[in-house]
Amino acid sequence: METKTKQLTLLRDIFEISSSCSTQTYIWGGLVPDILVGSFLREHGDIDGFTLNLWECEDEMAARYKERGYQVSHVEEVDFLRIEKGEVHAVFNQLAFDGETALWHHAGKEGTVYFPKQWLSNTPQDFYDTKVYISGIEFEYAIKICPQLLHPEWKGRDKDITHGSVKFWTGIEKCGKLTAWQITST
């Protein structure tokens, strides 16, 4: 089974297990452009996600992943859940809501990123007939293109500005001024 097929199976398992545990896992990072465009644009080494109330449902989720043949571990120093089967794996951080604010515990209890809850996709995207919740365009913009909007010391990475043949943004005059979004593929 090729890697992309295994990643799709992993995405399907993430959606189904999260739903069965009455939570949602939002995919963020490198896979989001692919999901938005509707096709794989490049190879991915892992799948990153944050799970609503992970700390409360982690044991139940871990048991359900194990039932499906995944190796499951908790990485204590950054407080995330890692699942792995063969060459595919995913890591999940805690996500919580405080009113209209989302709290993403990126580095456990020591590294929390606050952002508007409305940035998250409230309906799942269809990706190769697989339902996937994503972090949302505004979140991806902030975390990849202009990370200092989330934390003043964070710096953007060149590889995050351009993602293969997909350009995430047009008309950005300066960081902090979110203007029109355009997703195009060439």
pTM of the model: 0.84
Mean pLDDT confidence for 101-115: 80
User: Higher pLDDT residue, 138 or 181?
Assistant: 138
Number of domains in the chain: 1
111's CB contacts (< 8 A; 6+ apart) are: 78, 105
Is 173 exposed, middle or buried, given 0-12, 13-18 or 19+ CB atoms closer than 10 A?
A: exposed
Domain range for residue 92? 3-185
CATH number, domain at 172? Answer: 3.30.460.40
3-class secondary-structure state, position 97:
strand
Q: Which of 64, 35, 32, 62 is nearest to 49 (CA)?
A: 32
Question: Does residue 167 have a pLDDT over 90?
Answer: no
**Residue 68, token pair as written in the block:** 């499906």
